[in-house]
Amino acid sequence: MQIVALAGGVGAARFLRGLLRAAPPGQICIVVNTGDDREFYGVQVSPDLDIVTYTLAGVVDEAAGYGLEGDSFATVEALARLGHATWFRLGDGDFATALHRTQRLRAGAGLAQIAAEICAAYGVAARILPMSEAPCPTFVTLTDGRTLHFEEYLAREGAPDSVRGVDLSAARRAAAGPGVLDALAAADAILLCPSNPVVSIGPILAVRGVRDALARARAPVVGISPIVGGAPVKGPADKLLRGIGAEVSARGVAELYRGLCDGFVIDERDRAQSRDIEALGMHCLATDTLMRDAQISRALAESALELARTIASRKTGPRQTSRSAPHKTAPWLPE
Ligand code: GDP
């Protein structure tokens, strides 16, 4: 069984830790958001690629949710002493990853090749594919009129509430990364990780050809809600959902994925929304989605795969209707 998971950072990483326990790494391909990528301190940082890689390698700093466990920060501290703004915390080991990426890009290597090299160096057997090799910065517009790169919004400004909109136009212009569309076409199950739907899954869906590939894929597409009990588990998904006019709920996320997903996994405390979600044309499964440890992550991954298998085994049902009626009402996604 070939599984393709669309992934952002922290929420995705927690889920993927469980997916790796539920299926052999050779069957897993992860398509990762690069909308957060940016140059810091002269090196090219790919936050979500690195979080996913470090998590699958078992070396992520679990408490921070990013970076390498036990990493030191001597480089950014020395840069601060020299007068640099160091609001983006980059550990020394993490700096080396970004420096390697920068050098290899300069030598002409592509982001996908470099991601594979970093995976090999960290002993990660699953395939990790950048959504695109073109720069795809995600911008957040605030009510005061300022437009910020997503990392400026999150790390520098502390994710203020005053979001007016999200600009995914760079992703919309970008071609999919090597292997991405082929992996979607060949998949037996496609999962949308419990990631930020607006700034993690949104950019991947915006990349040219990805939504078409999802619509044409023979595999069922199953999403997992990052919103539990009406709030994100971590991060600013509530502010961004409100900023694009979506409801902050499992149902609100399902609405964004209408026409893309055949199935949706929600937390058991949101079970009352199951019927509304099924009315959107998706099978809905309620279970424990709060990934407090690796066992729960594994059980959640198994539930999502089981839902995908159930949908695949049915000849009729929401799958046909959802695929033939692509969602038209999300201005943050291309038509
Ligand atoms: P980011 O790029 O670091 O923000 O990471 P993601 O986009 O992958 O993840 C952010 C989302 O993960 C947030 O909306 C969280 O609510 C969600 N998340 C984090 N931990 C959990 C969890 O244990 N369960 C669920 N269902 N969602 C989670």
In terms of pLDDT, which residue wins out, 287 or 332?
287
In terms of pLDDT, which residue wins out, 154 or 318?
154
Pocket lining: 243 vs ligand 1, CB cutoff 6 Å: no
Share of the chain above pLDDT 70, in %: 94
CA 79 to chain CA centroid, Å, is 30
Instruction: Say what the pLDDT of residue 65 is.
Output: 85
307: pLDDT strictly greater than 70 = yes
Please compute the mean of the pLDDT values over residues 84-105 and round it to a whole number. 98
Pocket test for ligand 1, best of 52, 149, 150, 233 (most atoms within 8 A of CB): 233
User: Residue 267's CB: how many other CB atoms inside 10 A?
Assistant: 22
Strand partners, 276: none
Please compute the mean of the pLDDT values over residues 156-168 and round it to a whole number. 97
Q: Ligand 1 centre from 232 Cα, in Å?
A: 7
Instruction: Say what the pLDDT of residue 330 is.
Output: 52
Pocket lining: 204 vs ligand 1, CB cutoff 6 Å: no
Q: Ligand 1 centre from 293 Cα, in Å?
A: 14
In whole angstroms, give the CA distance from residue 96 to residue 211: 34
In terms of pLDDT, which residue wins out, 60 or 325?
60
327: pLDDT strictly greater than 80 = no
Contacts of 108 (CB under 8 A, 6+ apart): none
CB 115 within 8 A of CB 77: no
User: φ, ψ for residue 327 (rounded to 5)?
Assistant: -65, 130
Instruction: Say what the pLDDT of residue 107 is.
Output: 98
Of all protein residues, the one whose alpha carbon is nearest to atom 25 of ligand 1 is 226
Pocket lining: 60 vs ligand 1, CB cutoff 6 Å: no
CB 31 within 8 A of CB 204: yes
User: φ, ψ for residue 275 (rounded to 5)?
Assistant: -65, -40
Of all protein residues, the one whose alpha carbon is nearest to atom 18 of ligand 1 is 11
pLDDT per residue over 236-268, tens digit each? 999 999 999 999 999 999 999 999 999 999 999
What is the band of 331 on the pLDDT scale with cuts at 50, 70, 90? low
Pocket lining: 226 vs ligand 1, CB cutoff 6 Å: yes
Pocket lining: 194 vs ligand 1, CB cutoff 6 Å: yes
Nearest Cα residue to 187 out of 20, 30, 19, 17: 30
| AA letter at 33 | N
Pocket lining: 10 vs ligand 1, CB cutoff 6 Å: yes
Q: How far is CA 222 from CA 65, 194, 230, 274, 317, in A?
A: 24, 11, 20, 14, 14
pLDDT per residue over 201-228, tens digit each? 999 999 999 999 999 999 999 999 999 9
CB 79 within 8 A of CB 57: no
134: pLDDT strictly greater than 70 = yes
Please compute the mean of the pLDDT values over residues 287-314 and round it to a whole number. 97
Instruction: Say what the pLDDT of residue 53 is.
Output: 97
Nearest Cα residue to 62 out of 19, 17, 31: 17
Please compute the mean of the pLDDT values over residues 36-40 and round it to a whole number. 98
**Euclidean distance between the first and final Cα of the chain, in Å?**
31
318: pLDDT strictly greater than 50 = no
Instruction: Say what the pLDDT of residue 317 is.
Output: 45
Q: Ligand 1 centre from 32 Cα, in Å?
A: 14
Please compute the mean of the pLDDT values over residues 135-148 and round it to a whole number. 97
Pocket lining: 233 vs ligand 1, CB cutoff 6 Å: yes
Residue-wise over 269-278: b if at least 16 C-beta within 10 A, else e?
ebeebbeebe
pLDDT per residue over 103-124, tens digit each? 999 999 999 999 999 999 999 9
CA dihedral (139, 141, 142, 145) positive or negative:
positive
- 3-state class of 89 per DSSP? coil
Q: Ligand 1 centre from 64 Cα, in Å?
A: 13
Please compute the mean of the pLDDT values over residues 293-299 and round it to a whole number. 96
Pocket lining: 291 vs ligand 1, CB cutoff 6 Å: yes
Q: Ligand 1 centre from 9 Cα, in Å?
A: 7
What is the band of 83 on the pLDDT scale with cuts at 50, 70, 90? very high
64: pLDDT strictly greater than 90 = no
109 membership: H or E segment, kind and range: none
CB 98 within 8 A of CB 90: yes
In whole angstroms, give the CA distance from residue 27 to residue 19: 10
What is the overall mean pLDDT for the chain? Answer: 94
Pocket lining: 159 vs ligand 1, CB cutoff 6 Å: no
Q: Ligand 1 centre from 1 Cα, in Å?
A: 25
Classify strands 221-224 and 263-267 as parallel, antiparallel or unpaired: parallel
Quote the tokens at residue 169. 């136009």
Instruction: Say what the pLDDT of residue 297 is.
Output: 97
Instruction: Say what the pLDDT of residue 320 is.
Output: 45
